[in-house]
Amino acid sequence: MRFGLLLTTQHHPGEDIQAIMHGHLEMVRHARDGGWDSVWAGQHYLQTGLAGMQPVPLLARFAAEAHGMTLGTCIQLLSLQNPVAVAEETANLDVLSGGRFVYSAGLGYRDVEYQAFGLDRSDGVRRFEENLSVVKQLWSGDPVDVDLPWCRINQVQLTLPPIQRPHPPVWIAANSDAAVRRAARVGDAWLINPHATLPTIARQHELFLHAREEAGLPAPTTTPIVREAICAPDSATAARLAAAHLGEKYKSYTGWGQDKALPRTDRDFEAPYEELARGRFVVGSPAQCLDDLGRIVERVGADHLILRVNWAGMTMADSLRTIDLLTSEVLPHLRTPRD
């Protein structure tokens, strides 16, 4: 069992971003000293009503603090990228982390991002798969030929390849059933999203495993999952924080169209907080958080729990308390094999 910290790259415009970054560094230190295993950062462009850092420079900075920890993108919007830039930058991150980098990628769902790059969203799947193929080829260090409308190279080699061979692990984020099947075919693991409810991801996990089997691929060696988590000394305090910060976050997702990327059963982002949280968030006292995380482990066999504990407007003190309570009262029980 492994535990990861997903850093928030979304903040209210006008907030002191340097103070926020100092807070993130403190969160990384608390997680590192508490024996957590990984640190992650995600990506969006032109975040309506929010401001944030991009994942590659952010992870490069945190590499200096996250000694011995895995670094990972969670996620990078691969369809919008140039594959040469992705291969170069992620190989650098693998070197900076001492060969402990995981590349997680997703398709993206916001029209404004595709339009900003002059791209047609209907071409997103093709760009995603082609880019991923090129990145893997470049990571190999062998000469590569590519003739795509957006990337043309002739017998080019990556002169600074990643440390991990044949390449860093590739985890694919997916929301819809079709995307889960694609993740099974092109990735090493499905990075389970934080937005869907437990019944949905349990069903989709079976779909993922079946799709791998149909493609003649082995079962994945890991099952990572992202969850939103708030742990407080008592359930009332945790619920108050979640209603204020997670509720606001998911209203933003509705405006962005994130809910439309999910199966129809889970498109309830505008529901009252109590309904929204059910089967989706890990919120409560240490005992409640242990029960919620244990249920996830049992239902989908998750073995890498990646937890986001901070959102726009939330104090670092509350987030650090979540990390410390999870470290001392929750995670040790999950690391111990159950009888």
The confidence score (pLDDT) of residue 336 equals: 67
What's the CATH number where 67 sits?
3.20.20.30
Q: What is the pLDDT of residues 253-275, one digit of tens each?
A: 665 555 556 666 655 656 676 77
The answer, yes or no, to whether residue 199 has pLDDT greater than 60, is yes
Domain holding 62, by residue range, is 2-335
Q: What is the tens place of the pLDDT at every residue in 133-165?
A: 999 999 999 999 999 999 999 999 999 999 999
Q: What pLDDT sits at residue 308?
A: 96
Secondary structure of residue 296 in the 3-state scheme: helix
Lowest mean pLDDT among 98-102, 237-241, 259-263: 259-263
**d(C-alpha 32, C-alpha 143), whole Å:** 38
Model's pTM, two decimal places? Answer: 0.92
| Strand positions, DSSP E, the chain | 2-7, 38-41, 70-73, 76-77, 101-106, 144-148, 151-156, 170-174, 189-192, 224-231, 282-284, 304-308
pLDDT band at 228 (very low <50, low <70, confident <90, very high): very high
Q: Are strands 151-156 and 144-148 parallel, antiparallel or unpaired?
A: antiparallel
| Number of compact structural domains in the chain | 1
